[in-house]
Structure 1
Amino acid sequence: MFKMQIISSCTILSMLVFNILCTGNGKEDWIIAFNPPVITAVPGLCALISCNFTYPEAAKPIENVQWLVCKNVQCNKNEKMFKGKVSTQNKIELEEKETETERIKMLEPDLTKNNCSIIMKDIKAEDENEYAFRVVGQGKHKSTYNPTVKIIIQDKPKMGIPSLSEGVEANLTCSAPFPCPETPPEITWWIKTRGENIINLKDDITLITRSLYISTLPLTPTSKMHNATVGCDVSYGNKTISASRTLEVTCEYKYTYLTKFLEKACFFDNC
């Protein structure tokens, strides 16, 4: 039994030593982190991809950095959307023939700051892909592809409407992407009842997260709101996206004990 424990301990020690020799300490590994790993973008606007990275000493000096388009989990090194060569001062210089200089901008050209964040301008539907950041260094420490960041395209806000009953307050929600710090969204609510003009409504809560604006509208439904249209418009400067839904308000019934018959408390078409 004691002999088996010695063998087991030796095996574990050998594996640890082998691991240290192969990877060095933790600082020697490639590390790329995206926050968040999934970005919801709006066509026509920009999108911020927040990225940080480290690379092993053995890879220095770095020759160039690249952003690649990945399709079906495959990252094609020949399909670059950005390529920048690295100067002797560790600064990124654009290689204009191989990069979309008008659309892609790296926020930090100094590699020593380990910031690989970029702004993508004029987002299009075909930009809905996964993307990888690649560092090309020296010797066997050439590059890294994983992990990837994903861009999802959304061309209208998302509305959340719970079941509505006359006289019972409910919260309606409208969420909109916040992909571009240059153009924070503004959300406007409106409602159009049957035969009446559009009325603008004021929300009660707007929650701002790293990538979303969520507006909450408290609403106490009335009989006139059945089959009304409620909508939210989200403005990003000159760009506006909209969504609307039809309200369905259920009837409330009450018993009048003096007359001993069922009396309707609302007068909808479907009551």
Structure 2
Amino acid sequence: MAAALTLLLIGSLLQGAQSKRFKAFVPQTIEVLRGSCVTIPCSFEIEDQYESNLDDTCRAQWFNDDTLVFDSKYPQTRLNNGELTGDLTKKTCTTTLNNIQPAGSNSYFFRLECDNKLKYSFKQTITISVTDVPPRPTLTPSALKVEEGASVSLRCSAPAPCLSHPPTVTWTKGLGDIVETLQENEDRTKVLTSVVTFTASHKHHGETISCEASYHKQDGSAESAATLTADVSYAAQILPSSDCITAGDQLNCSCWTLGNPPPTVRWYLNGSPVNHSEELSVSSERLNDTTTRSIITVNRQQEAGLSSLLCRSVNSRGSATQRFCVGSSEPQTTAGSPGRFTLTFIVTVVALTAALMCALLFAIGAHRTRGLNSGESQHTGDTSSAVASQGLAGEKLIELSVTAEEAIYANTNLTPISQILV
């Protein structure tokens, strides 16, 4: 008896499990920008006895409360501004509705109507929340704290309520490589995910990184953004702008440093740490959370005894050192008159050049005189071709000599070297 009851109960359960009931599967709620479109993911089940009635004559209808807002039999009309993207014969009723109005929350339900006895309004409803502000994307992680050189991946997720017009995601310009995918949530709504990958640099520190989602509307577009990418730690650096200048009887050296965490600056004279004194003074100024300017002032008398001056910048990520030329070291190049050594060098070059020119002209003149004397003693009265040849050579030599003599006279207007030395 007990066994018979058990079999009867199992049979009843199996029969109930095999029989289907009318049921629609839709998300509970979707947030939509007013004037844009919305895609409603939809599928359904019907009782087994109506399976044969599910044919090409069936159409999908959507009602807002009791008002018909879409009928797939009359798509793309002024009343039915939408499109059935599902296949009713396969029990999918996904539908896109365009130009959603007005703002507020409205409840929608799906009705299946065929040209036969299969006609049913499903009880499951979806709430479409219409807003004037586009949904804000989600940026992951919400804060970025990394070390320089690390590989960083940021994810921006923007709801995609309308499959025909998904949002456009834009990152901070020139950030890195971008990959986009369209993903499905558990309730079958869609989300556009954009991932940017880059290598963290000290240039990213303090930068506001944003991803912006732009949504299409009937009358234009609307944007929303999410921001955070960036606390980047990096080793201490000394900037090229660090230098030394002379002001009166003092030498001022500036050491510009950069780093995160903010670096500590120390000065070293002749290998020893600098202590503040009457001859030496050190001051530091924090310009922002990463940049520091340190200045050391050295009297000229103290400078004469210096062989080296170092600036050292240190933080937990690393250090940097800058050497400055002071004291007995090679002097700094400054704008103004040339030094004594430079002037002496210039005068020496000018004098040697003038002496070389005079010696060359003297040699040319002597050669011309010998040539003329030789021609007169050997070819007087001779009209042969050899005499003519010697005559032509003599004319060229005379012409060269005259040119050289003109150069000598022309140089008489040059400023005397004695005046240059003065």
- Please tell me the TM-score bracket, short chain as reference: 0.5 to 0.7
Could you tell me which of 68, 80, 100 is aligned with 1:123? 100
CA apart distance, 1:203: 3.3
CA apart distance, 1:249: 0.6
Aligned to 1:158: 138
Aligned to 2:177: 203
Could you tell me which of 90, 109, 115 is aligned with 1:132? 109
CA distance in 2 between partners of 1:143 and 1:186 (Å): 36
Tell me the secondary structure at the aligned position of residue 227 of structure 2: strand
Could you tell me which of 149, 159, 182 is aligned with 2:164? 182
Contact 1:189–1:202 under 8 Å retained in 2: no
Could you tell me which of 205, 210, 218 is aligned with 1:231? 210
Q: Deviations over 1:93-121 (max 9, x none)?
A: 58x9xxx715444447x855644232111
Aligned to 2:79: 101
| Structure with the bigger percentage of helix | 2
**Structure 1 residues 44 and 155 mapped into 2: Cα distance closer, same or farther (>3 Å)?**
farther
CA apart distance, 1:218: 2.0
* Structure having greater relative contact order (Cα 8 Å, sep ≥ 6): 1
TM-score when normalising by structure 1: 0.60
Could you tell me which of 223, 226, 241 is aligned with 1:241? 223
Aligned to 2:377: none
TM-score when normalising by structure 2: 0.42
Aligned to 2:307: none
Aligned to 1:32: 24
Aligned to 2:39: 48
CA distance in 2 between partners of 1:43 and 1:166 (Å): 43
Give the greater-gyration-radius structure (CA): 2
CA distance in 1 between partners of 2:181 and 2:85 (Å): 27
Percent of residue pairs bearing the same amino acid type: 22
Tell me the secondary structure at the aligned position of residue 4 of structure 2: helix
Could you tell me which of 52, 58, 67 is aligned with 2:62? 67
Q: Tell me, yes or no, if structure 1 residue 220 matches structure 2 residue 165.
A: no
Unaligned runs of 5+ in 2: 185-189, 237-256, 263-286, 291-422
Unaligned runs of 5+ in 1: 70-75, 85-90, 191-198, 255-262
CA distance in 1 between partners of 2:8 and 2:176 (Å): 70
CA apart distance, 1:139: 8.4
CA distance in 2 between partners of 1:179 and 1:102 (Å): 19
**Structure 1 residues 165 and 140 mapped into 2: Cα distance closer, same or farther (>3 Å)?**
closer
Tell me the secondary structure at the aligned position of residue 201 of structure 1: coil
RMSD: 4.3
